[in-house]
Amino acid sequence: MNRRQKILAGIGAAGFIGIGLFLALAIKPAIAPVARPDVALSPALVAQGERIVALGDCVVCHTAPGGRAYAGGLPLKTPFGTLYTTNITPDRGTGIGEWSFEAFRRAMRQGVSRDGHLLYPAFPYIHYTKVTDEDLRAAYAFLMTRTPVHAPARRNELPLPLRFRPSLAFWNLLYLREGPEPATGDAPAERGRYLVEGLGHCSSCHTPLGVIGGEKHRESMQGGVVDDWSAPALDQLAAAPQPWTAGQIVDYLRTGLASEHGAAAGPMRPVTENLGRVPREDVQAIAAYLLTLQKPLRTVEPPAPPGDQDQRIDRGRQVFAGACAECHGEGSPMRGAMGRPALAMSSAVFGPSPRNAVMTIREGLAWPSQPGSTTYMPPFADVLNDRQIADVVAYLRSTAPHAAPWSGLDEQVAHLRENRP
């Protein structure tokens, strides 16, 4: 065999190996359906599963606005198109009623559906793969005791190449690291690590994503963007102008409101409502672990303030007096009787991006589902125009201590308006 033939033979062999690897990764066998759940659905296991499912925020993504719990249909906007979450009630035709525990476990650990097709990584299986079998079994038991809902999956709105699910095998090769199960000892921070990195999948939102939608591990917990909202850096909590304490983190995660930091909004709001239903020690463990991640403040050279900054702040002060001061002004009932912090202390106001301040003004805070909570705010998208929103945001930013003016406010406000349905 001459040199050219050897080269061609090598290329051919490499091609066959590549095809074989692709087939092994992309084509998974179906798991036979079951007539009934193959795990004993004891009250204790179901109760534990309710806790696990709340910690995993399953209902947040698998419930459409105005829809039945866990029946899917929620649109998830991604840079590649819109995905719709699926039905995880025990309906046998459109949900997971025919799934065995092994099929459920495979989906959670490997991102593979019962029939063998690969799941899109908007479902955070790269994190759920770290969850123990015991907790997965409990989650399965809880979901299998929900009310079945007939809700067929909606068609995803993706360009043609991304509809070819076997291509996800290469994504999994880059980002999926299945098991082993982590230790879950008694130390609060160790328990918190398990919850944050596994069930809570916090870095899915709080870490920047790369060009193909994978987390940038070197920038873990350094902040991200979710549905036009900023997910703040979780490694800068102690470096904030008002450093977070463990108690404040616990209050925020359980009630959606923290003294000296303001209220949860956007995609974080329903997360806090879920965490309000789990034992306090779980949230304390999350707080303990988050405080172990803290790093020195990352400084960014502030841009030069806009030339009309003083006039903008004056206009914003007037908008605030007319539209916001009744609730947020000094001496207002919300501030006095209810103990709400000043907006200047809110992380939305002194954060690195104006996104959350703009989005909160535009969309408000919906009525909470938790009884006793009072974190409500009406939306102002139809009340204030773009310039008024930009002006009031500039004014609020000027009240935050040691905060440089945000640049490009007009462009940011216009972009967020155009990007909303």
- The pLDDT score that the predictor gives to residue 23 is 47
Report yes or no on 304 lying in a domain.
no
**Pure H helices in 27-69:** 43-55, 58-61
Same structural domain, 242 and 129 = no
Same structural domain, 211 and 105 = no
- CATH of residue 410: 1.10.760.10
Number of domains within the chain: 3
| Strands 257-258 and 262-263, sheet pairing | antiparallel
* CA separation for the pair 218, 172 (Å, rounded): 18
* CA separation for the pair 283, 277 (Å, rounded): 10
Distances from the Cα of 374 to the Cαs of 29, 49, 132, 269, in angstroms?
50, 29, 36, 13
pLDDT tens column, 190-233: 999 999 999 999 999 999 999 999 999 999 999 999 989 999 99
CB 331 within 8 A of CB 249: no
Amino acid in position 145: T
Q: By three-state DSSP, how is residue 338 classified?
A: coil
Same structural domain, 29 and 126 = yes
Amino acid in position 131: V
- Domain range holding 265? 188-293
Give me the tens of pLDDT residue by residue for the chain, a chain 421 residues long.
555 543 444 454 444 444 444 444 567 899 999 999 999 999 999 999 999 999 999 999 999 999 999 999 999 988 889 999 999 999 999 999 999 999 999 999 999 999 999 999 999 999 999 999 999 999 999 999 999 999 999 999 999 888 889 989 999 999 999 876 665 566 899 999 999 999 999 999 999 999 999 999 999 999 999 989 999 999 999 988 889 999 999 999 999 988 788 889 999 999 999 999 999 999 999 999 999 999 998 877 767 777 788 999 999 999 999 999 888 888 777 766 566 667 877 888 988 899 999 999 999 988 766 655 667 889 999 999 999 999 999 999 999 888 889 989 999 999 999 887 6
Same structural domain, 347 and 389 = yes
- CATH of residue 283: 1.10.760
Count of beta carbons in the 10 Å neighbourhood of residue 401: 9
Q: What is the greatest pairwise CA distance in the chain?
A: 90
Same structural domain, 332 and 238 = no
pLDDT tens column, 294-310: 999 887 776 777 778 89
> Could you give the dihedral angle defined by the CA atoms of residues 19, 25, 29 and 34, in that order, rounded to the nearest 10 degrees?
-170
Q: What is the pTM of this model?
A: 0.88
How open is the CA angle 193-199-203, to the nearest 5 degrees? Answer: 70
- The pLDDT score that the predictor gives to residue 332 is 78
Report yes or no on 349 lying in a domain.
yes
Same structural domain, 29 and 140 = yes
Report yes or no on 376 lying in a domain.
yes
